[in-house]
Each structure stands twice: as structure tokens, then as C-alpha cells.
Amino acid sequence: MDFRDRHIVITGGAGALGTALVGALVEAGAICHIPCFDEAEAQRFALREHKQVELTVTGNLADEQAVARLYERISTLWASIHLAGGFAAGPLRATSAATMRQQIDMNLMSCLLCCRAAVNAMAGNGGRIVNVAARAALEWRSGAGMTAYTASKAAVAALTAALAEEVAKDGILVNAVAPSIMDTPTNRNSMPKADYSLWPKVEEVAATIMFLASPENRVTRGAVVSVYGKS
């Protein structure tokens, strides 16, 4: 896939999935804009000095002004990929209102605000938007024990389908992926007895995202693509 000289925003680009995706995108010629929460996150990012990577310390992506500043710096935006989010487990009876709002901000509001900014930045030029939902966003019963997270990610899936219909005539194709538990060092540490061979690898999930964000994707829109591996 040829992304030569195409400007792409990747939120959550400094994470495990983001690092795999940014690595593949720069190899394909893309210019990657990575918002980081703080300077410490920026310094941890392995590709921070790559000539095709532009890091900005953006702060909270649930903040309208922070998101506006991020996108207004990019002259011609091709794609916006939204990996940023957060996870909280626990039964609803024990979940505070603050945690519920945090999950909505981290998973839904950050995605929604970046989608809006991307649509405005792409006006008249077309482009691609890819969101990240979750398996529980499609299989609601599997979200028992993490209800606030499940609800916020289900909202991301609904946002994806609705926005895809809204902007299709503008040449903007909006899709999402819904991963199961991915094979990352953090997930291995938290579940040491799991069978890691069943989990999708971040490089595999990144490959699906790349296609959805690519010029080669000419017709797929409104999809929430399950990327479960063998799990």
C-alpha cells in the first residue's frame, strides 16, 4: 500500500498497537502526526526521531481546544486513526460516576472530537477515518464485569456507522476495528496463564487498520471489523 507523502494522524500512536502501525505507515511513505499526552510519553516513543514522524504534546484528547490545535497544524490530511482510549474493569455496582465519565471521555469523546476535526480538515478532499472499538462493543454480553468500558466502546461502534453514512458523499470512508485482547507485554503481564498464541498480534491488527486507511480501500465504509485472531 502506497501512503507516500500522505499526512495521517494516529492518536495513541505511542502505544503498542500504535508503534506497530506507525512503523508500517512510515515504511509505506506516510507522514505521521502523533499526539502525546505529555512529554514523558513523547520521550518513550521509539520512533520519535524518525524524519516522517511529528510528535506534539497535546494533552487530553477529550478537550475540544487541544484537538482543534492538533488538526489545525496539518495542511492536507489524508487519514485520521483513533487508537487512544482507556480500560476500566469492575462490576457496575462498584463503578463510580467519575470512572464512568472517564471511560466516556477516554473512549468516546476523544474519538468523537477527533472524528469531527478530521472531517472538517478533509472537507472537499476526501479521506479515511479508522476508529478502534472492542470485541465487547459487538458482543455486549462479553462485557460483563467491565460495563462502563463496554458501553463507551459500543458508542464508538455506533458513532462509526452513523458518521460513515453522514460523510460518504464527501469521499470520506469511516470504519473501525474491534480487537479482542491483543498480544502486548502489558496484557501478558496481567494474564500470565493465558494462551498468548490465540491473541491477535499488534502487527496483524495494524495491517487491517492500514488497509481501511489506505487509498486502496475504495468502497468499505461503516464497517466494524472484528480482529480476534484465534481467540
Contact 26, 32 (CB under 8 A): yes
| Other Cβ atoms closer than 10 A to 149 | 25
The set of residues, in sequence order, having a beta carbon less than 8 Å from that of 71 and lying 6+ positions away, is 9, 77, 114, 117, 118, 120, 121
Catalytic residue among 71, 149, 196, 228: 149
Longest dimension (CA), the chain: 51
Pairing of strands 172-179, 53-57: unpaired
Segment (H or E) for 33 = strand 31-36
Burial of 22 (0-12, 13-18, 19+ CB in 10 A): buried
Q: Is-catalytic flag, 149?
A: yes
Amino acid at 138: L
Amino acid at 21: L
Contact 133, 152 (CB under 8 A): no
Given the C-alpha cell 502523533, which residue does it identify?
34
Distance, C-alpha 118 to centroid of its chain: 13
Active-site residue list: 149
